[in-house]
Amino acid sequence: MKTSDFHFDLPDELIARYPQAVRSSSRLLCLQDGQLEHKVFTDILSLIEPGDLMVFNNTRVIPARLFGQKESGGKLEALIERVTSDTTALSHIKCSRAPRPDSVILLEGLEVEVTGRQDALFELCFKLPVGTTLVEWLENVGHMPLPPYMEREDELSDRERYQTVYNEKPGAVAAPTAGLHFDDELLAALKAQRVNTAFVTLHVGAGTFQPVKVDDVHSHKMHSEWLEVDQATCDAIAQTKAAGKRVIAVGTTSVRSLESASNTPEALSAGAIQPYSGETEIFIFPGYDFKTVDGLITNFHLPESTLIMLVSAFAGRGPVLNAYDEAVKNSYRFFSYGDAMFLTKNTNAVDLWDQ
């Protein structure tokens, strides 16, 4: 299985660099049983049935992008990858020459000590005012970490639009973008339709944008992210399955959370998803056996990315690439601020390497 098996041509003008004026006004391409339908996002109300369970990722994006300088005066840019305490974080740093351990840098005017390094990430200790946490400080001075393909600086409106309306737990440096299409009115309509909801938390890392650099998909090493699936969500899933209804994951991060919690020794022993809190490096590509997720709402993803591989595993590589070709022909908007897909699991798809 080659990385190039997941390539498609995407015109630059289809990359969405700004969101739609109304969250739920995006277009929706449906792929069910290999068949495509063009809809608008509010048509999700006709696709989700009473008793189905929708699982959302309630992470909150932190303003993780910071600008500053080294002791020598050289400019640098930092992207916080993970907050590790009220005063410390792991961070990517972009500059002409990497700062040394035990050196001090300035970020947004604040002194920050570089205490060490873990591979490509720098350990930072922030000298914050007494009574201020790092997350609070970032909310005041940081910039929203828009994906590099938007090719623009963040604006004030991104503070609200690059968050889901149900965000709750700060820690992500990228949004769970499938959730950006839901507004309060649509969520209320789903509730009135007796669609059930549950939440997981996965703090999306910058690694979600890293390209696959190997030719053989099996050789790719996935980045690590922190997640939590609690007992209440596991109970809701069990009740949904017992009633013969579907578990619909909102976004690939929800898929990775649910399938990670379904693959622990405890879950495999019990034959059902179990609560889990911790790291995941799960890499889902064609051939993967989905244990919990029955349906998926997701945006359109980068060519040759781990995310399009996940979607292909779920609905079949051929049908998915055909859907992407259709989306390009019909000028759908791509990536974080783009349009969406609704997919159901295709257990009958045959891919080239299986023939």
For the segment 344-353, what is each residue's pLDDT rounded down to a tens digit? 998 665 454 4
pLDDT value of position 119: 86
Tens-place pLDDT, residues 286-302:
999 999 999 999 999 99
Tell me the per-residue pLDDT of 261-284, one tens digit each, with 9 for 90 and over: 999 999 999 999 999 999 999 999
Residue 89 pLDDT grade (very low, low, confident, very high; cuts 50, 70, 90): very high
Read off the pTM.
Answer: 0.94
pLDDT band at 355 (very low <50, low <70, confident <90, very high): very low
What is the pLDDT averaged over residues 171-197?
Answer: 98
Mean of per-residue pLDDT scores for the chain: 95
Say if CB 31 and CB 320 are below 8 A apart. yes
- Tokens 């909801």 correspond to what residue? 197
Cα 204 from Cα 53, distance rounded (Å): 22
Instruction: Map out the domains of the chain as residue ranges.
Output: 3-61+159-354, 65-143
The rounded distance, in Å, linking the Cα atoms of 324 and 2 is: 18
Give the ranges where 142-264 is alpha helix by DSSP (H): 158-161, 184-192, 231-242, 252-261
Give me the pLDDT at residue 324, please: 98
Q: In CATH, what class is 3-61+159-354?
A: alpha beta
Asked whether the beta carbons of 111 and 127 are under 8 A apart, the reply is yes
Residue that wins the pLDDT comparison between 221 and 337:
337
Burial class of residue 308 (count of CB atoms within 10 Å of its CB; 0-12, 13-18, 19+) = buried
Nearest to 197 by CA among 261, 163, 245, 160: 245
Q: How many whole angstroms separate alpha carbon 284 and alpha carbon 351?
A: 15
Q: How confident is the model over 208-229, as a mean pLDDT?
A: 91
In terms of DSSP bridges, do strands 225-229 and 276-280 run parallel, antiparallel, or are they unpaired?
antiparallel
CATH 2.40.10 fits domain 65-143: yes
What is the spatial distance between Cα 105 and Cα 118, in angstroms, rounded to a whole number? 18
